[in-house]
Amino acid sequence: MRLLSSRWAVVLFFGITGAPIVLLAYSSITISTASAVTAAQHGAADSAQASAAFIHQRFQDVGAGLDAFADHNLAPAMTAGPAGRPDMGSLSAELVDLTRLQNGVSTAFVTDPRGRLLTVTPAQGDLAGKYLTGDDWYQGVTTQDTPFVAGLSATGGRQDLNAVAIATPIHGQANGATVRLGYLVGLYDLEKIQMFVDDFSAAHSTNLWVIDGAGYVLAAPGLELGSVTSWPAGDQLVARALNGHPDVSRSMRDGVPSLSASAPVPGFRWVVVADVPAPVALQGADQLRATVIAIAAVLGVVLVAGLVVGWTLVRRAQQAAVLRQRMEALARLNEAASSVHAERGPSALQIIAVHARELVGADFSALGVWDAVGGRMAPVAHDATTGLPHAALDDLAVLLVERCQPASGAHRGELGELGVATGETELWEVGPYLSVPLSAGRRVLGCLVVCRREGSPRFHAVDERQLQQMAQHATSVLEKSRVDAEREAFLDRLRETNEELQQASRLKSQFLARMSHELRTPLSAILGFSDLLLEGASGELSPGQREDVQEIATAGRGLLDVLNDILDLSRIEAGRMRLELRPVRLEALLGDVASALRPLALSKSLELRLAVVGGDPPVMADPLRIRQVVTNLVSNAVKFTHAGGVIVRLLTLSREVEISVLDTGIGIPQEALDGVSDEFSQVDGGQRGFTGTGLGLSIARRLVLLHQGTIGVESEVGVGSRFWFRLPVATDAAPRQLVLAAEEGLAG
């Protein structure tokens, strides 16, 4: 709208200021051109008439000269011969005189009254006795009986293209009456006319053409004498002049526009055409035009420059105002946004409703949320100016938000039929309204509606943009609420599952402990009676029986170990493992273990030795459990070593003591190191040909961790392994009991 009016302002400006300039310039040019044309045509007409008069006078003079000569000099000779016939000698002599005296006449001849040639000067023998009655001069002079000027024409069958014939009758007296004795013809040299034309053209910048009645050009600027050039047939300029009417016209002459005028040569059927080339005629007008155009151009430039400057200033002011408005709106939006971000949930939505209303200067705002179950928009917040009855606001909010449909975009318009009573007779009716959807992607979450009282100004696009920004805030609030709710629900489910799992684990451990205990009781009986049998309490056994019972005892003890391991593990998991911690020096303990397992090692031809490096400070430990750990590690080392040996090393560090079991065994692949201490786990699932439950290392790990120690392994396949654990050096001597459930992993 503003742009449109600006355009019209420009048009108006140029209309008011430019039109007079253009009009002035145009009329100046037109008037000057027209007057120049008129002047040129007058000039051409004057030239044509003056030239025609000159030529007329010239031929008049020649004609008069010939006429006088004919009557005075030739008439006597025409009858001086025998029997009143022409005296050829006298005639010839007279003609020679004539051509000498009469300027421009180089050839002359005399005929009898019937047109028969009598004599010619210079002599042309083959013409003698010929009739020249077909010649133009004869046809003319016999008609008018006065000097006649012919055009370009043949004479006596001969063509002299450089001359025109001027004929006059020769009068004489016979029997007291005037009779025609014959005709005198002089051929007048056209070069004389051509010279006049050339001189005139040069002097007056006006081209002259002399044309005879047959349309032949007798003289013209630059005409080559002797050529036969015809004037264009049907040219009205010449045709009218031949009929005695001078004329003016515009024409093209050799491709140059010209202003032309024609004039008849009085007394002859000749015409003079004068041409003023338009560039010459309009020279003054062209100069004036150039000046006018230059002035108009300068004025135009000044106008345009003024307009540009003014326009720029107005534009800048407009842009500044727009910028200010945008800054204010931005500030309001920022304020609203920070308010919203400080709040959550319904209070944030309420703040949005308040800011939305204030932002666009509405009387009422409502924020609706899409109720997918109910299939309708439900108001969740609204705000109103003072003056609206509080009781009616909820209803108004419902009415407004229900008009928003989930799939629709922004709407602006008027609502006439909605209203709320503000008094017994007064009704507050909704007028302009604006609604924008709250949408996340394709989902419509709700809507934000504002309205004004009927009769208020409508909402504009800028209001819509601002409300849409508020709608985005509302959308993010709603989205955040939704995400929060989903996270809470997830955490609740997680807690429940965790509790269930813990309960299951406890039950499992209890089961295992109970079951192990129950299994150990009959196993004790098996082992006990097996020993009794072996000791020969029931009599000496045969070698075969002894071997069988020995098998039973061995298997039973293996089973007992397994049961003990399971029991230990379940105890640990159930958090019922009790450690009797006290300061212990480990060298003796390690020596005991090595001694106990050395027979096993020797049975595989392996060396098993103990190395102590850096002393033997006491560590806080349960010796029973540490022995169990070390025994497990060493027996594992022996089990997985086929050649070489096993070293148990005690290394004292600054605050810890490290016990390492190094072997030259098969080693553990890198990828299997992490799972090596898992329960019931053997590398390759036990396929490498080694027996065992896989519980030992797991128990060892848990026991070390219960001691606040760390445990780890390094290994290389085919080279060997080093299992190690570290225990803190004892700081106080007091023994204590510790019951802990370790959950940490084996350090790599």
Pick out residues in 212-271 that bind other proteins (CB under 8 A). Answer: 216, 226-230, 233
Out of 139, 347, 422, 550, name the contact with other proteins by CB under 8 A: 139
Out of 88, 93, 154, 549, name the contact with other proteins by CB under 8 A: 154
Residue whose CB is less far from other proteins, 137 or 459: 137
Take residue 617 and report the two structure tokens written for it.
Answer: 């400070």
Residue whose CB is less far from other proteins, 227 or 605: 227
Window contacting other proteins (CB under 8 A); options: 18-26, 129-137, 555-563, 707-715: 129-137
- Name the strand (E) or helix (H) holding 607: strand 607-613
Distance CA 561, CA 563 (A): 5
Residue whose CB is less far from other proteins, 178 or 319: 178
Window contacting other proteins (CB under 8 A); options: 147-155, 370-378, 536-544, 636-644: 147-155
Q: Which residues of 445-475 are buried (b: 16+ CB within 10 A; e: fewer)?
A: bbbbbbbbbbeeeebeeebbebbbbbbbbbb
8 A C-beta contact, residue 211 and residue 270:
yes
8 A C-beta contact, residue 89 and residue 95:
no
Q: Does residue 162 touch other proteins according to CB under 8 A? A: no
Strands (E), 58-116: 105-111
Window contacting other proteins (CB under 8 A); options: 41-49, 63-71, 151-159, 445-453: 151-159
Out of 102, 119, 153, 365, name the contact with other proteins by CB under 8 A: 153
Out of 42, 130, 171, 520, name the contact with other proteins by CB under 8 A: 130
Window contacting other proteins (CB under 8 A); options: 42-50, 156-164, 503-511, 539-547: 156-164
Nearest distance, CB of residue 213 and other proteins, angstroms: 13
Residue whose CB is less far from other proteins, 111 or 677: 111
Window contacting other proteins (CB under 8 A); options: 126-134, 585-593, 609-617, 649-657: 126-134
Element counts in the chain: helices (H) and strands (E): 15, 26
- Site for other proteins (CB under 8 A): how many residues? 25
Q: What angle do CA 528, 532, 538 make, to 5 degrees?
A: 140
Residue whose CB is less far from other proteins, 138 or 270: 138
Residue whose CB is less far from other proteins, 214 or 602: 214
Residue whose CB is less far from other proteins, 144 or 498: 144
Nearest distance, CB of residue 225 and other proteins, angstroms: 11
Residue whose CB is less far from other proteins, 111 or 635: 111
Beta strand 645-652 with 607-613: parallel, antiparallel or unpaired? parallel
Window contacting other proteins (CB under 8 A); options: 155-163, 484-492, 713-721, 724-732: 155-163
Nearest distance, CB of residue 113 and other proteins, angstroms: 8
Nearest distance, CB of residue 91 and other proteins, angstroms: 19
Q: Which residues have a Cβ under 8 Å from the Cβ of 456 and sit 6 or more positions away?
A: 363, 431, 432
Nearest distance, CB of residue 125 and other proteins, angstroms: 14
8 A C-beta contact, residue 258 and residue 16:
no
Nearest distance, CB of residue 133 and other proteins, angstroms: 4
Q: Which residues have a Cβ under 8 Å from the Cβ of 703 and sit 6 or more positions away?
A: 572, 577, 625, 626, 628, 629, 742
Pick out residues in 78-117 that bind other proteins (CB under 8 A). Answer: 113-116
| Helical packing angle, 696-706 and 623-639, nearest 10° | 150
Site string for other proteins, 356-385 (x = CB under 8 A): ------------------------------
Residue whose CB is less far from other proteins, 130 or 376: 130
| Helical packing angle, 88-101 and 2-69, nearest 10° | 140
Q: Which residues of 542-557 are buried (b: 16+ CB within 10 A; e: fewer)?
A: eeeeeeebeeebeebe
Residue whose CB is less far from other proteins, 230 or 287: 230
Out of 63, 156, 667, 696, name the contact with other proteins by CB under 8 A: 156
Q: Which residues have a Cβ under 8 Å from the Cβ of 360 and sit 6 or more positions away?
A: 434, 450, 459, 463, 466, 467
Q: Does residue 152 touch other proteins according to CB under 8 A? A: yes
Nearest distance, CB of residue 222 and other proteins, angstroms: 17
Residue whose CB is less far from other proteins, 164 or 248: 164
Residue whose CB is less far from other proteins, 153 or 466: 153
- String of DSSP letters for 419-436: EEESSSS-EEEEEEEEEE
8 A C-beta contact, residue 384 and residue 363:
yes
Nearest distance, CB of residue 244 and other proteins, angstroms: 24
Nearest distance, CB of residue 182 and other proteins, angstroms: 13
Residue 435's nearest CA partner among 472, 454, 408 is 408
Distance CA 56, CA 263 (A): 11
Out of 20, 122, 134, 615, name the contact with other proteins by CB under 8 A: 134
**Cross-strand pairs, 209:** 273
Residue whose CB is less far from other proteins, 184 or 451: 184
Nearest distance, CB of residue 127 and other proteins, angstroms: 8
| Helical packing angle, 283-342 and 461-535, nearest 10° | 40
Residue whose CB is less far from other proteins, 158 or 403: 158
Out of 161, 217, 242, 378, name the contact with other proteins by CB under 8 A: 161
Window contacting other proteins (CB under 8 A); options: 149-157, 253-261, 639-647, 679-687: 149-157
Q: Does residue 159 touch other proteins according to CB under 8 A? A: yes
Residue 204 DSSP SS3: helix
Out of 13, 14, 54, 131, name the contact with other proteins by CB under 8 A: 131
Nearest distance, CB of residue 34 and other proteins, angstroms: 37
Rg (C-alpha) for the chain, rounded Å, is 70
Q: Label each residue of 341-374 as H, E or C.
A: HHCCHHHHHHHHHHHHHHHHCCCEEEEEEEECCC
User: At 82, which amino acid appears?
Assistant: P
Q: Which residues have a Cβ under 8 Å from the Cβ of 580 and sit 6 or more positions away?
A: 622, 624, 735, 737
Nearest distance, CB of residue 242 and other proteins, angstroms: 17
Residue 621's nearest CA partner among 540, 690, 678, 705 is 705
- Name the strand (E) or helix (H) holding 579: strand 578-584
Q: Does residue 144 touch other proteins according to CB under 8 A? A: no
Window contacting other proteins (CB under 8 A); options: 28-36, 132-140, 176-184, 309-317: 132-140
Nearest distance, CB of residue 233 and other proteins, angstroms: 7
Residue whose CB is less far from other proteins, 226 or 310: 226
8 A C-beta contact, residue 402 and residue 378:
no
Burial class (CB in 10 A: 0-12, 13-18, 19+), 285: buried
**Cross-strand pairs, 483:** none
Nearest distance, CB of residue 106 and other proteins, angstroms: 19
- String of DSSP letters for 523-574: HHHHHHHHHHHHHTTTSPPPHHHHHHHHHHHHHHHHHHHHHHHHHHHHHHHH
Residue whose CB is less far from other proteins, 159 or 595: 159
Residue whose CB is less far from other proteins, 179 or 600: 179
In order of 535, 549, 630, 657, the CA distances from 724 in angstroms are 41, 38, 9, 10
Query: By the criterion CB under 8 A, which residues form the site for other proteins?
Result: 113-116, 130-134, 138-139, 152-154, 156-157, 159, 161, 216, 226-230, 233
